[in-house]
């Protein structure tokens, strides 16, 4: 079984970026833990600061049944990108929206997600464990 994790802008800085919000752990440590916990799941990872690259990756992974699901942390694009929402709506592969922080406890601009309505579900506020919870939701 294959799962794809996609991270959006600034998430390449995990472990260094605003540790009070995002913690001190890196995405690499999160991926290692996922691969160790689920040895039968092939976890693939993609990160981009570019909206177009994220859309292209969604399109590439969204058809043909290669992936059981996609765990997507679109970062700030969550709140601004109708294009990413349209890409999710267009593909067949289910997408779980995840956030490291509780976006509803942050600035008001982060309370509205343009992608939530086209995702299978939303997980937020559990730190890097949000990715594990996303993978588990897609395994069920």
- The one-character DSSP state at 52 is H
Q: Residue 133 and residue 88: Cα distance in Å, rounded?
A: 19
Dihedral sign for Cα 48, 131, 34, 22, please.
positive
Distance of CA 9 to the CA centre of its chain: 11
Known active-site residue 99: yes
Check 22, 67, 77, 131 and give the catalytic one: 22
Check 79, 99, 104, 131 and give the catalytic one: 99
Helix locations, 42-92, DSSP H: 51-61, 82-90
Q: What order do you get walking across the sheet with 121-124 strand by strand?
A: 42-47, 2-7, 69-73, 95-99, 121-124
**Residues labelled as active-site residues:** 22, 99
């Amino acid at each position: 079984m294959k799962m794809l994790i996609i991270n959006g802008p600034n998430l390449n800085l995990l472990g260094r970026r605003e540790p009070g919000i995002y913690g001190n752990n890196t995405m690499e440590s999160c991926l290692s833990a996922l691969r160790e916990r689920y040895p039968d799941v092939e976890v693939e990872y993609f990160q981009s600061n570019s909206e177009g690259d994220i859309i292209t990756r969604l399109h590439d992974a969204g058809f043909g049944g290669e992936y059981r699901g996609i765990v997507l942390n679109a970062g700030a694009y969550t709140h601004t990108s109708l294009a990413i929402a349209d890409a999710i709506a267009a593909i067949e592969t289910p997408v779980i929206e995840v956030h490291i922080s509780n976006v509803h406890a942050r600035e008001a601009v982060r309370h509205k997600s343009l992608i939530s309505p086209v995702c299978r579900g939303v997980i937020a506020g559990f730190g890097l464990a949000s990715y594990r919870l996303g993978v588990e939701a897609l395994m069920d």
